[in-house]
Structure 1
Amino acid sequence: MFDKNNKLRHSISLAAVLALSGLSATAWADAYEDAAKKWIGSEFKPSTLTEAQQLEELKWFIKAAEPFRGMKINVVSETLTTHEYESKVLAKAFSEITGIKLTHDLLQEGDVVEKLQTQMQSDKNIYDGWVNDSDLIGTHFRYGKTESITDLMANEGKDFTSPTLDIKDFIGISFTTAPDGKVYQLPDQQFANLYWFRADWFERPELKAKFKEKYGYDLGVPVNWSAYEDIAKFFSEDVKEIDGKRVYGHMDYGKKDPSLGWRFTDAWFSMAGGGDKGLPNGLPVDEWGIRVEDCHPVGSSVTRGGDTNGPAAVFATQKYVDWMKAYAPPEAAGMTFSESGPVP
């Protein structure tokens, strides 16, 4: 997301950069191309493109960046492993290949949202670009404080839009497209609901036989809630110990924390069917159980067409409580998302 009030600006002209450096434009171009070759050879692989195709694409970036060399751009995202890579590796590569000084800060999710809110309300620039949740698409659309990527690419950013950019190729582009049909964010990374399990435990003959005898079906990745509960109960109550260590069949977290909120909205409610069926969901009820009309939240309770207190949400919340108490390690109740993740 780009700040609408901080469009492409020159902090220092190309001529000044060249004068200060004493290098010719050709020498600068060669230096940036050498940087591109270095990154292609050391980091940008494997790739669907050949090295020649990669270099050709990066040559376009080098050329397009000429008017902005020496400019400083500041972007921010929450602290996730994906964004740490962007901050430590990709930002450095971009700076070396284009000559534009890119700084990518990492903050906690709540701090990112707070600073974003401050910038929108004060119109004072804090960051030039933001990597924030696509859940904010409604905010960006309604407030009019965000530069539409669609408009940017069609107008002042036209000459600086990569000819190889394929918007339709982005997974999740529907979630970053507002009701006006314009794209306000490009999907960067996505969460998936995963089932983590010890495959070596699931392959132990004695455990497989014991599970089959008790439940009547093979021990394996569960395909529904009842199978998940069977496995959680089996390891927590029947197996109890493996190789001299106490084991559990379930892991979660329960400490009061912002992460606990989206534990329900992003995972439990959606897995229980809190949102409308089909892709994308959210038309009109999203996975949080909130009903939306024209990108505006208009009701969350069942009486107002929402589902936050509907059967799916109630079922999911009860299972969360029951499984935490019965099948998870006792310390899980006092953990946050960041603390519980490394445990499995």
Structure 2
Amino acid sequence: KKYGTGNGYSLGVPENWAAYEDIAEFFTNTPIDGKKVYGHTDFGKKSPSLGWRFTDSWLSIAGAGDTGLPNGTPVDEWGIRIENRSPVGSSVERGGATNSPAAIYALQSYIDWLNKYSPPSAKQGTFRDNNIAAAQSNVAQQMFLYTLWINEPAYQQGKMINEKGEPVWRLAPTPHGRYWKQGMKVGYQDAGSWTIPKNTRGPKRAAAWLWAQFCVSKSAAVAKFKAGGTPVRHSTLSSDFVQKNKSRWGGLIEFYQSDAIHLWTDTGLNVPHYPLLFRAWWPNLDRAINGQISAKEAMNNIAYEQDKIMGSLKLARYSPKLNPKRTQAYWLAQPGSPKPAQAREKPSTLSYDTAIKRWRKAPQ
């Protein structure tokens, strides 16, 4: 009631970043049972995981790229523009979006929320620290969670569960930034597969194939899911054990049995050289988070460095062919991404039941 009175809409699952921010501010400034709580948490320590936070999905959640699955066409979630299957630019001046208003907004929001609404230790934490810290019963929400952490003991004990041993926390659809449009990817998920090297021959190859079959067999897959919480088979999700105990995973089973799984995708082949390009991200993000440079300067640095790296790449197929530079105004006036600056969206929330129904009916 107090939240609704002060904000003009009901407290619920935030549908967009404006509502997420309002909720973060409310909880950060409202003691619960006389105790300090935080409306958000994330991490800021200089490490590769800081880069993953952004290349995995932060820009796509903000809406920096284009519509089209799996990664956005012609501009993907890294802000790289693809034409005729070849990368043609990362900077706005070349038709990319890595330093677009949407990307700068994404980083500035990250910095603001980390400073205003997160526990003091968050800026010194890595992605593991952050995900465990979110299970200390003093954080109201998190923008997105790597789901492997929910099988950590911290999520299955103390104030994180009720008297029946069921979680009091819930997984819900990711809120969108103001630039996000229907038809864009929503988030990130790894999708692995078994790889047997070409030089593994004869009996060794047969043994490797047999072992792989065992590891993804129905019985082994259920046992692995009980231990690790990462499913590899649909049959695991529909097994008697999982269906009887699905409340233990706080919404994860509902997610994986919904249409929404197709909207969470991994990094695509549109990133021409992941290791080289990735190096541009986390050092610049760290400098922005620590106030050494602005969010705009950081995203400019990343965009121009990616352009430089792509311009030097010579690949066997689909080698980058950089667009000539144009003014940012030219590209921001074109349809799609990069997108011109937009005003703050109207905050919107959903009931949890409605949010889960959105998963089930997610457009393909």
Q: TM-score, normalised by structure 2?
A: 0.36
Query: In terms of Rg, which structure is larger?
Result: 1
Q: Whose strand fraction is larger, Structure 1's or Structure 2's?
A: 1
